[in-house]
Structure 1
């Protein structure tokens, strides 16, 4: 497995060039969603900002109860407990005793605890634009 060069890392250790591409994509997506909102004013369109929600947790994982940011819970190998040919479910892989302390389950999927953290941010409006509360208030006012 080829890792990104050390000079291609952001402040939390993620691949900076990949995150920059995601950021640019999300800006274009939000602009297109705004065009659709204008074109279809009665449609309910919200943007769930998965990338920023994920990044929020990664900036301060301890605040969300996570002790392992990059190491996977179920796998094998160093340094991240992940080898592409020895994934969770193969004889050489094993699961960690406390999955709720991990962000990543198997190198591909997040843990249930991480999905809960992201879902909470979506539902309370910290990672949705406009927030779901806006639509609920509108529904109560307009029926």
Structure 2
């Protein structure tokens, strides 16, 4: 259903561009990056930027100001929520995030879902894709 909807939406966006030459409409695909994460979670790396001074690593790394560490991608158990009330997907409406009986994962950046909603890491991956595609548009 989402694929069909998106194909119709892209066609409508093209039609607006054809009918109104002075208007620039850019299609932002939300579905494809989410499917990319679900299908290949470990392929999508996360970068952690660590300030050398903050962790006293500056002397360790030849006076470099910043150390960038690449960590593995999203968790393989991709449909499981980081924060929730147990069960296969760690999701339970009667024990939502912050309620008694709920648990929180160690590393939210490894999860697609926080509490049934996307995590900041998921939104960042999607937004980065949008921003990169906008930057590649011809002016």
Q: Same fold (TM over 0.5)?
A: yes
| C-alpha distance in structure 2 between counterparts of 1:55 and 1:75, whole Å | 22
| C-alpha distance in structure 1 between counterparts of 2:3 and 2:136, whole Å | 25
2:112 aligned residue: 103
- Which has the larger Rg? 2
1:31 to 6, 11, 30: 11
Q: TM-score of the superposition, structure 1-length normalised?
A: 0.72
Structure 2 stretches lacking a partner, 5+ long: 45-72
Runs of 4+ in structure 1 over 2 Å off: none
Aligned-residue Cα RMSD (Å) equals: 1.3
1:11 aligned residue: none
2:80 to 63, 71, 80: 71
Structure 1 stretches lacking a partner, 5+ long: 1-20, 126-130, 139-143
Structure showing the higher helix proportion among its residues: 1
Q: How does 1:38-117 map to 2 (within 5 A)?
A: 38-64=18-44, 65-67=73-75, 68-107=77-116, 109-117=117-125
1:6 aligned residue: none
Contact residue 84 and residue 96 of structure 2 kept, 8 A: yes
Paired residues, what number? 110
Contact residue 108 and residue 114 of structure 2 kept, 8 A: yes
